């Protein structure tokens, strides 16, 4: 979730040429008795927050590998921790993962040592955010879309079908304008959401990826966001502040994560979410192994555990995310159900454009606007420029 | 061997007269003979802290601000240039600076107006229990978490919060809506407008204004007020020509706190306000997620420069005379 929150990265990340394949583990030894993981908060739960959500204890009992978790709040922190060393695994997001590969901080994974690899979603098996030159630098961990949340009392029987409710001024089904009643994400990556909207509504711009924009496409996206600024009372930055705004500020619609939707619904707030016709942006995380990992056997056992245990199902419930093993939605290994997966966007994979770092040298059109410009320009847009 | 052992046996009786000089004695003698050694020993650690950690990081910051980011590759060019400072003059960035300085000034003015009567009461009239109550009242907010206070204010100011509820209850919602309809400072609700940000800043930094102000007002001699009254000055004249000038150093000292704290804060405008950036937020975002450290450093230099100017003026006005 938080990957998008502060997706730290430099354009440097993807500019650096990709490294040669490093040595990988050939066979497993005896478990080392411990395992150190860098993870997003809430990603590795041992029943201490809520007793039902525990996907560590059984692993420790079965393998004798005691799991130590170091949480990191931003991708920057994750990369920094991995650079320092002393960790075996990291749950890296789309922005951090390629940086880690480029910086030679992670090692290729020997998939023959991960028996459950075959159960991984085919749609993720060769995803570009962790597979470089055909080499797998990790194993998918979890993914999710950025959905459009709306207030069901405002929209009534006609839920929104397009992102236009947050991009263009209009009257909502309750007869009042959307001005001051919509929100948008506070991070510069939100420019990609605008670009995706333009991809659908202005095909003549020729946008092929919302993360690869040339100067003209970029300008159009910013213009759209300037309109959005006039509609937006406050941009959301912290998930809990956004939830508070839907409770107390009369918010009608906003892009958000399934996490907030689930929590608000559990609290009885009249909200629901859709993935509109234009599609949505999203995030996908990968378990990666440090190049100097000390506890490789435990690490491989953990990777196998992430795919084969209740982890995929329960984590997806806990986080409002999607399992990378499709069977976890239905086979009852955890709390997740087919309806739950559908709600979290599992069937909408094709309509989701996963987050990657905008870089200058882009695949689709040679030269694109890099991420650091996204940051300074988005500050300007929010400031009313 | 026997020859060398001999003198030591002879020397021994002398020790009976003077006690053995241990390490401690010798060190203390050294300090006695060379007082500077003592001074350096005592100051070495704090000095290392001040120079290396504190000023060192500031110098590193300053250095970074003279680098620039390569337009094409996004990498940092480690060559001396002023172009990063030039970027500060771009409209969007200038907006951030003006916004922050204006907010700091508004918060400081508001704090002076509200704090003066409170500080005056505490300095001149409060005695015994009342004085204790005053200190408790001023200090209490400082003991609770900053974040808790800010989140509480977000709820208070929310569109469906207690203020809206209360104004509706007394039929004054037209007044509230009128205030929110004001250009620039108004907004969708109090918690998404500059007014809200200002109120929260004011609440959070007010104690830092009250306390120095009260200390200054307590130093105003009673005899001067009596002399002023004897000479026929009205209350207003006494306040304007006697109390205020004498309390000015305290007011300026307080304003240094409120001004600089507002300039550097990046959490309040993120939680309460319209998401328009302040300097602190811009620094946070530029260095953390964008990797544009030169511009972040240049932004960070702005409050330093403004505060240096401010402190120079404050010194001329005698704010530090009591130090």
Predicted confidence pLDDT, tens digits, chain A (385 residues): 444 433 333 333 333 434 444 578 888 889 999 999 999 888 898 988 788 899 999 999 999 999 999 987 777 678 778 887 899 999 998 877 887 887 788 999 999 999 999 999 999 999 888 998 899 999 999 998 989 999 999 998 899 999 999 999 999 999 999 999 999 998 888 999 999 999 999 999 999 999 999 999 999 999 999 999 999 988 988 788 899 999 998 899 999 988 888 889 988 999 999 999 999 998 899 999 999 999 999 999 999 999 998 999 999 998 889 999 999 999 988 999 999 898 888 998 988 998 887 878 788 888 899 888 888 899 899 988 8
Let me know if residue B154 belongs to a domain: yes
CB-nearest partner of A12 from B74, B289, B295? B74
Which CATH number do you get for residue B165?
Answer: 1.10.3720.10
Q: Are residues A193 and A274 in the same domain?
A: yes
Cβ atoms A321, A344 nearer than 8 A: yes
ipTM rounded to 2 decimals? 0.73
Q: Are residues B53 and B117 in the same domain?
A: no
Q: Does A103 touch chain B (CB under 8 A)?
A: no
- Specify which residues A256 forms β-bridges with: A147
Q: Does A383 touch chain B (CB under 8 A)?
A: yes
Let me know if residue B62 belongs to a domain: no
Q: Does B277 touch chain A (CB under 8 A)?
A: yes
Q: Are residues A250 and A270 in the same domain?
A: yes
Let me know if residue B180 belongs to a domain: yes
Neighbours of B226 (CB within 10 A): 11
Which is higher by pLDDT, B136 or A8?
A: B136
What confidence score (pLDDT) does residue A7 get? Answer: 38
Number of domains in chain A: 2
Over residues B260-286, the mean pLDDT reads: 91
Let me know if residue B47 belongs to a domain: yes
Let me know if residue B110 belongs to a domain: yes
Q: Are residues A7 and A80 in the same domain?
A: yes
Cβ atoms A80, B291 nearer than 8 A: no
Q: Are residues A186 and B91, on separate chains, in Cβ contact within 8 Å? A: no
Give the pTM: 0.77
User: Among B17-31, B126-140, B232-246, B299-313, which stretch is predicted with the lowest mean pLDDT?
Assistant: B17-31
Q: Are residues A201 and A318 in the same domain?
A: no
B positions 50-69 inside 8 Å of A (CB):
69
Let me know if residue B72 belongs to a domain: no
Model confidence at B323: pLDDT above 70:
no
Q: Are residues A362 and A226 in the same domain?
A: yes
Q: Are residues B192 and B263 in the same domain?
A: yes
Q: Are residues B74 and A11, on separate chains, in Cβ contact within 8 Å? A: yes
- Specify which residues A66 forms β-bridges with: A34
What confidence score (pLDDT) does residue A358 get? Answer: 81
Burial-class residue B151 by CB neighbours within 10 Å (0-12, 13-18, 19+): middle
Cβ atoms A242, A260 nearer than 8 A: yes
Q: Are residues B110 and B243 in the same domain?
A: yes
Size of interface A-B (CB pairs under 8 A): 123
Task: Write out the residue range of the structural domain in which residue A162 sits.
Answer: 145-281+357-382
Q: Are residues B91 and A9, on separate chains, in Cβ contact within 8 Å? A: no
Q: Does A282 touch chain B (CB under 8 A)?
A: no
**Residue A92 to residue A75: CA distance in whole angstroms:** 7
Cβ atoms A132, A98 nearer than 8 A: yes
Burial-class residue A43 by CB neighbours within 10 Å (0-12, 13-18, 19+): buried
The 3-state DSSP class for residue A143 equals strand
> What percent of chain B shows pLDDT beyond 70?
90
Distance from the B254 Cα atom to the nearest Cα atom in chain A, whole angstroms: 30
CB-nearest partner of B160 from A9, A250, A384? A250
Q: Are residues A94 and A129 in the same domain?
A: yes
Q: Are residues A339 and A322 in the same domain?
A: yes
Let me know if residue B2 belongs to a domain: no
Residues of A in contact with B282 (CB under 8 A): 379
Task: Write out the residue range of the structural domain in which residue B44 sits.
Answer: 19-57
What confidence score (pLDDT) does residue A101 get? Answer: 86
What confidence score (pLDDT) does residue A374 get? Answer: 87
The 3-state DSSP class for residue A27 equals coil
Residues of B in contact with A359 (CB under 8 A): 74
Q: Are residues A161 and A87 in the same domain?
A: no
Q: Does A123 touch chain B (CB under 8 A)?
A: no
Among B142, B122, B145, B151, CA closest to B134: B122
Number of domains in chain B: 2
The answer for A287, left when phi > 0, alpha when psi is -120 to 50, beta otherwise, is beta
Over residues B81-88, the mean pLDDT reads: 90
**Residue B279 to residue B40: CA distance in whole angstroms:** 39
Q: Are residues A287 and A276 in the same domain?
A: no
CB-nearest partner of A360 from B72, B159, B292? B72
């Amino acid at each position: 979730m938080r990957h998008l929150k502060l997706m730290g990265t430099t354009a440097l990340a993807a500019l650096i040429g990709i490294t040669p394949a490093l040595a990988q583990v050939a066979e497993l030894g005896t478990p080392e008795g411990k395992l150190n993981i860098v993870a997003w908060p809430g990603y590795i739960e041992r029943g201490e927050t809520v007793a039902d959500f525990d996907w560590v204890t059984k692993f420790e009992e079965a393998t004798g590998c005691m799991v130590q978790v170091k949480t990191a709040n931003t991708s920057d922190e994750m990369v920094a921790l991995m650079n320092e060393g002393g960790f075996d695994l990291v749950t890296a997001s789309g922005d951090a993962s390629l940086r880690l590969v480029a910086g030679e901080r992670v090692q290729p994974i020997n998939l023959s040592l991960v028996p459950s690899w075959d159960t991984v979603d085919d749609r993720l098996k060769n995803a570009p955010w962790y597979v470089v030159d055909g080499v797998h630098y990790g194993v998918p961990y979890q993914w999710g879309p950025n959905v459009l949340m709306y207030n069901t009392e405002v929209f009534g029987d006609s839920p929104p079908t397009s992102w236009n409710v947050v991009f263009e001024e209009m009257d909502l089904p309750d007869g009042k304008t959307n001005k001051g009643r919509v929100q948008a994400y506070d991070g510069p990556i939100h420019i990609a959401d605008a670009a995706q909207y333009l991809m659908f509504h202005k095909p003549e711009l020729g946008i092929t990826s919302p993360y690869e924009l040339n100067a003209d496409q970029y300008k159009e996206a910013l213009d759209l966001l300037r309109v959005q600024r006039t509609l937006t009372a406050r941009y959301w930055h912290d998930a809990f502040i956004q939830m508070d705004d839907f409770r107390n500020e009369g918010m009608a619609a906003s892009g958000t994560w399934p996490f907030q939707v689930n929590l608000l619904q559990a609290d009885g707030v009249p909200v629901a979410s859709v993935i509109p016709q234009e599609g949505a942006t999203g995030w996908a995380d990968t378990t990666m192994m440090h190049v100097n990992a000390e506890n490789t056997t435990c690490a491989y056992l953990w990777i196998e555990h992430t795919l084969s245990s209740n982890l995929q199902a329960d984590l997806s419930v806990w986080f409002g995310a999607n399992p990378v093993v499709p069977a976890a939605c239905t086979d009852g290994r955890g709390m997740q159900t087919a309806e739950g997966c559908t709600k979290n966007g599992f069937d909408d994979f094709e309509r989701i454009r996963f987050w990657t770092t905008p870089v200058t040298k882009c695949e689709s059109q040679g030269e694109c606007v890099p991420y650091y410009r996204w940051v300074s320009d988005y500050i300007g847009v929010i400031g009313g420029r | 061997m026997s020859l060398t052992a001999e003198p030591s046996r002879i020397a021994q009786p002398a020790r009976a007269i003077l006690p053995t000089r241990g390490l401690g004695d010798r060190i203390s003698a050294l300090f006695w003979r060379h007082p500077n050694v003592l001074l350096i020993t005592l100051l070495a650690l704090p000095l290392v802290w001040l120079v290396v950690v504190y000023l060192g990081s500031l110098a590193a910051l300053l250095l970074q601000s003279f680098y620039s980011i390569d337009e094409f590759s996004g990498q940092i060019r480690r060559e001396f240039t002023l172009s990063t400072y030039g970027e500060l003059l771009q409209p969007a960035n200038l907006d951030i600076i003006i916004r922050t300085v204006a907010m700091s000034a508004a918060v400081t003015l508001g704090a002076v107006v509200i704090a003066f009567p409170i500080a005056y009461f505490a300095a001149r009239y409060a005695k015994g229990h009342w004085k204790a109550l005053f200190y408790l009242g001023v200090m209490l907010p400082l003991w609770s978490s900053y974040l808790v206070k800010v989140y509480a204010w977000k709820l208070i100011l929310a569109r469906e919060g207690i203020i809206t509820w209360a104004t509706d209850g007394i039929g004054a919602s037209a007044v509230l809506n009128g205030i929110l309809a004001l250009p620039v400072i108004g907004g969708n609700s109090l918690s998404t407008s500059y007014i809200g940000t200002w109120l929260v800043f004011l609440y959070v930094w007010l104690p830092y204004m009250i306390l120095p102000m009260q200390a200054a007002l307590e130093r105003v001699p009673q005899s001067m007020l009596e002399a002023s009254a004897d000479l026929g000055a009205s209350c207003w004249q006494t306040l304007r020509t006697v109390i205020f000038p004498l309390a000015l150093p305290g007011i300026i000292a307080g304003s240094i706190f409120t001004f600089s704290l507002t300039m550097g804060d990046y959490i309040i405008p993120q939680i309460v306000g319209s998401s328009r950036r302040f300097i602190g937020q811009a620094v946070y975002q530029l260095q953390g997620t964008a990797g544009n450290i030169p511009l972040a450093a240049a932004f960070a230099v702005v409050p330093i420069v403004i505060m240096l100017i401010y402190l120079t003026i404050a010194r001329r006005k005698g704010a530090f005379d009591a130090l």
